[in-house]
Structure 1
């Protein structure tokens, strides 16, 4: 049995605040809107293995900081008029493993080609390449059209 457009209900977008992840949000929304699907704008975090050392240095509240980054990325993608189908979520876990797990219940995973982690010369980031290789649904890998210039939502109109 083939799925119809009305069967598509959930796009999960990995957001780390990078230009590519902001563009991934925009692209997911462009695809989801005509289908009536929701966009789960998801940022991931986890406590470092040496958590006590970070707290001793005054570095804590990881979840709050990730939520701030997520909200800034959503506002950068859409401006003040955030589409009602875009749902921000902060999830504790490694992005690679968590996105692959989320793909079990998603219709599509949307990620940026390269986020803030890894090495600058990589053509495809470790999270995006892991999703392409292991996700249980289609994966859209989006690149930042001009990595030196992050678009504002007004430039997309």
Structure 2
């Protein structure tokens, strides 16, 4: 079953075209990697999918729903988690607060607690630092936090932009 379908996507930043005619099909359970040089459009493709970069032409379908014009919070509620390049954690908030924000679309406290347990199992270093401010952690720890935050929403699709940046 097709999870994600991009058809002839064109995305611009102001008057500069960043994507031209991008077409990608992603099947459920498939792992897809975008490879290219700096400026090739990898980050813009992810931002277009998540609603952070407006698509001027083409279409994006996710699980059969047309999401081309959806804002980021709406794509997240559908189950698309985007870990951006540069982490973008909340530096003045604790690790626990950062993780909890990742579950913003969930209302069931039991599910949120289960997700927290799962994330802290994946990243035991975060468990040690639950009360620490995110901005005081190393780059690698912040990357774990950014990925953990995305996993808190129990996504059906996880998009990682430069996931190894800052990791030793």
**TM-score tier (shorter):** under 0.3
- Computing the radius of gyration over CA atoms, which structure comes out larger, 1 or 2? 2
Give the structure with the higher percent helix: 1
**Higher RCO structure, 1 or 2 (CA under 8 Å, sep 6+):** 1
Give the structure with the higher percent strand: 2
Give the TM-score taking structure 2 as reference length. Answer: 0.26
